[in-house]
Amino acid sequence: MATIKKRNGKYQVLIRRKGHTPAYKTFSSLPAAKKRIRIAEADMERGLFQPIPDISVAEILKRYEREIVPQHRNAVRHEKYRLDRLRSVFGKLPVAGLRPSLVASYRDERLDIVSPATVRRELVILRSALNIAIRDWGVCLPSNPVAQIVLPKDKSQRIRRLERVEESKLIEKSNTQLRRLIIVAIETGMRRGEILNIKRSHIDLLKRVLFIPSTKTDTPRTIPLSTVAVSALREQLSASQSESGGVIPLHEQPLFSYSPNGVTGGFLKLCRKVGIENLHFHDLRHEATSRLFEKGLNPAEVATITGHKDTRMLMRYTHLRAEDLVGRLG
């Protein structure tokens, strides 16, 4: 049974049939509303009917924030900010009303305000939320509207190598704990959050390996340690042992006492102090990854150390110095 009600100049369709969830949808014209009823009734007869979801975009994004975002340990704050932005634009829409054209308009308008990378991240999280809603939460949509548009390419990928003279300045002028932290970053390619989550129990200096249980990609990994990294970690182990205290067992205490913002702020302050421009702490991961390639490791081997899930992502890190490749050419 299907009914059409006219409200505020638009036509609301209600489709009800035994064994099916009631479906609602609003159309701007009466012919469009009647056409939808004919299609729905024909699909019911053939067993192909998909009810029109009456859930709003805001409800899907809220559930995504509640159930999925907490799993992304190192990106919770950023993802909540993006979700708030998406809710402010699309939240009141029924999910069935989220058309590719609307998403494309949002993309184009945002590109006039923020970088392509920012727009891409916002749309990726919207696409992810809708994919999960369709796959796991019983939201019946014929397709994901975000998947039908072209996402902006991230043209802001940094190509910033750390020069050896810059590295020497950073090591010489930093305080002891920050110095060790910088060395670990350069020698291992670990992310800032991964380094700050290191505990004594994660380190095996005899085998020269470090276990990382919590990562951005939610995939634990064990990485090999260079002799330089081993030396820096051994020094920090000794220093942190003499400074330890409190109720947390020593082996479960963080090895470094910095906060994420403390690392970022301290590193930027250090760069200003020694006259280094346009260098971010994350660039050390980029540098470490590039150096692994320069040592002759293949993409699979590098990914084992850096934790990249897709080896294709590593190609943007392989900004190899020509002078370092001369010796291989003969």
Note if 285 is an active site residue: yes
Assess whether 308 carries a catalytic annotation.
Answer: yes
The active-site residue out of 87, 110, 180, 191 is: 191
β-bridge partners, 7: 10
- Rounded Cα distance between 250 and 268, Å, is 30
> Which residues, in sequence order, are bridge partners of residue 203?
210
- Residues 132, 144 contacting (CB under 8 angstroms): no
The answer to whether residues 182 and 188 touch, using CB atoms and an 8 Å cutoff, is no
Long-range pairs for 41-49 at CB < 8 Å and ≥24 separation?
Answer: 41/2, 41/15, 44/17, 44/20, 49/17, 49/20
> 């899907």: which residue's tokens?
60
Catalytic residue among 63, 173, 216, 280: 216
Q: Does the annotation mark 20 as catalytic?
A: no
Q: Which of 82, 179, 202, 308 is catalytic?
A: 308
The catalytic position among 36, 285, 286, 291 is: 285
Nearest to 74, CA basis, from 193, 226, 227: 193
Give the residue from 36, 3, 17 showing the smallest Cα distance to 142: 36
Active-site pick, 282, 291, 295, 321:
282
Does 312 participate in catalysis according to the annotation? no
H or E element in which residue 13 lies: strand 10-15
> Dihedral (C-alpha) 184, 188, 190, 194: value to the nearest 10 degrees?
-60
Catalytic residues: 191, 216, 282, 285, 308, 317
